[in-house]
């Protein structure tokens, strides 16, 4: 009797240890990746990286200034498409939760979140590159913007739903129309959370490569024309990583470090903001 109990307790302890071991194993790649980024990336980062155009193939030196600018432009385009549709649609999902449109949109948004990013690239290619006959920043921005929509929509829905019903009722009781209540009372109340959600979504699409390969395409030079191919940090990292040159490999690590720092900062800020919001409630 007592022996059996000991065995059961031992099993319990063993499973706790095994699952903890799984956790350590899963987090190992994260630690290793961050360590390599810090070690290799930091040593390759310098002023040139942020201010210079890429050098000629195989020659050391040069930077990714145009790619950084390109990524900012692409992300701005994506935000211009994804944020209005996502925020307004998300508000609808929260405020008119059980209509047919809501249920369909919620389900398809979840499904759309799982559609491979390369397929988004194909879609933007067919939609924009094919009719225009050439690659363009616009096409890349559309690909990223479409990817942003479901993420922003679902986060907005969740945050707006947290706004207490009494806030809406107070506004409506003052005779404020429903549309004004949503725009001027409900959304501002939820603004901090929505902004955080948007930032996390934007940081994610900023690191996407696959949808840009045959839309934004990449560019070795500066470009401000949205209808022409444009450089992007992730494309540049990819191109340099598979190149045969050591200096380009170093620059790829530097680019990756910049990209990951951005993503990590946004995520940490989001977590901090989320923690604060919970405490306020």
Partner 1 sequence: MIGGRGGAAVSSARTADRTFQFLLAAMAAAVPVIIGAMLVALIAAAWPAIQRFGGAFFVTSTWDPVAEEFGVLPFVYGTLVSSALALVIAVPLGLGVAIFLAELVPGWLRSPISFFVELLAAIPSVVIGLWGIFVLVPWVRTALGPLLSASLGSLPLFRGPPLGIGMLTAGLILAVMVVPFIVAVSTEVMRTVPRSQREAALALGATRWETTRTAVLPYARSGIIGAVFLALARALGETMAVTMVIGNVPQIKTSLFAPAYTIPAVIANEFSEATSDLYVAALIYAGLVLFIVTVIVNALARLLVRRVAHGPTQIRE
Q: Which of residues 86-125 bind partner 1 (CB under 8 A)?
A: 86, 88-93, 95-96, 99, 101-102, 104-105, 107-119, 122-123, 125
User: Tokens 């989320």 — which residue?
Assistant: 274
Cα separation, 192 vs 43, whole angstroms: 37
- Looking at 42, 72, 191, 264, which residue binds partner 1 (CB under 8 A)? 264
Q: With binding defined as CB under 8 A, does residue 248 bind partner 1? A: no
Task: Draw the binding track, 22-41, toward partner 1 (x: CB under 8 A; -: no contact).
Answer: xx-xxx-xx-xx--xx----
Burial of 173 (0-12, 13-18, 19+ CB in 10 A): exposed
- Looking at 6, 11, 46, 51, which residue binds partner 1 (CB under 8 A)? 11
Strand-pair partners of 186: none
CB of 43 to partner 1, least distance (A): 14
Q: With binding defined as CB under 8 A, does residue 203 bind partner 1? A: yes
Residues 207-236 that bind partner 1 (CB under 8 A): 207-210, 213-214, 217, 234
Q: Which two tokens stand for residue 30?
A: 């994260």
Q: With binding defined as CB under 8 A, does residue 128 bind partner 1? A: no
Residues 39-78 that bind partner 1 (CB under 8 A): none
Q: With binding defined as CB under 8 A, does residue 265 bind partner 1? A: no
Contacts with 36 (C-beta within 8 Å, 6 or more apart), sequence order? 253
Three-state DSSP class for residue 85 = helix
CB of 62 to partner 1, least distance (A): 18
Q: Which two tokens stand for residue 265?
A: 């900062």
Q: With binding defined as CB under 8 A, does residue 252 bind partner 1? A: yes
User: Tokens 């000991």 — which residue?
Assistant: 6
- Looking at 6, 15, 72, 276, which residue binds partner 1 (CB under 8 A)? 15
Cα separation, 90 vs 159, whole angstroms: 9
- Burial annotation 3-23 (CB, 10 A radius, 16+ → b, else e): eeeeeeeeeeeeeeeeeeeee
């Amino acid at each position: 009797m007592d022996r059996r109990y000991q065995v059961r307790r031992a099993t319990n302890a063993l499973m706790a240890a095994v699952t903890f071991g799984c956790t350590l194993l899963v987090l190992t790649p994260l630690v290793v990746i961050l360590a390599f980024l810090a070690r290799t990336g930091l040593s390759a980062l310098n002023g040139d990286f942020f201010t210079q155009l890429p050098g000629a193939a195989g020659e050391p030196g040069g930077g990714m200034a145009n790619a950084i600018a390109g990524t900012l432009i692409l992300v701005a385009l994506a935000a211009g498409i994804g944020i209005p549709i996502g925020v307004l649609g998300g508000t609808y999902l929260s405020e008119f939760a059980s209509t047919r449109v809501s249920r369909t949109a919620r389900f398809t948004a979840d499904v759309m979140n799982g559609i491979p990013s390369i397929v988004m690239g194909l879609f933007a290619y067919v939609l924009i590159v094919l009719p225009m006959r050439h690659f363009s920043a616009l096409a890349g921005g559309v690909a990223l913007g479409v990817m942003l929509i479901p993420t922003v929509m679902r986060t907005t829905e969740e945050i707006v739903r947290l706004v207490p019903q009494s806030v809406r009722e107070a506004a409506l009781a003052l005779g404020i129309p429903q549309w004004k209540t949503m725009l001027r009372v409900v959304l501002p109340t939820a603004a901090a959370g929505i902004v955080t959600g948007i930032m996390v979504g934007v940081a994610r699409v900023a690191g996407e490569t696959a949808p840009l390969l045959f839309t934004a395409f990449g560019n070795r030079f500066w470009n401000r024309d949205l209808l022409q191919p444009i450089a992007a940090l992730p494309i540049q990292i990819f191109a340099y990583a598979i190149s045969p040159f050591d200096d380009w490999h170093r620059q790829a690590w530097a680019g990756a470090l910049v990209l990951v720092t951005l993503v990590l900062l946004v995520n940490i800020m989001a977590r901090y903001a989320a923690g604060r919001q919970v405490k306020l409630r």
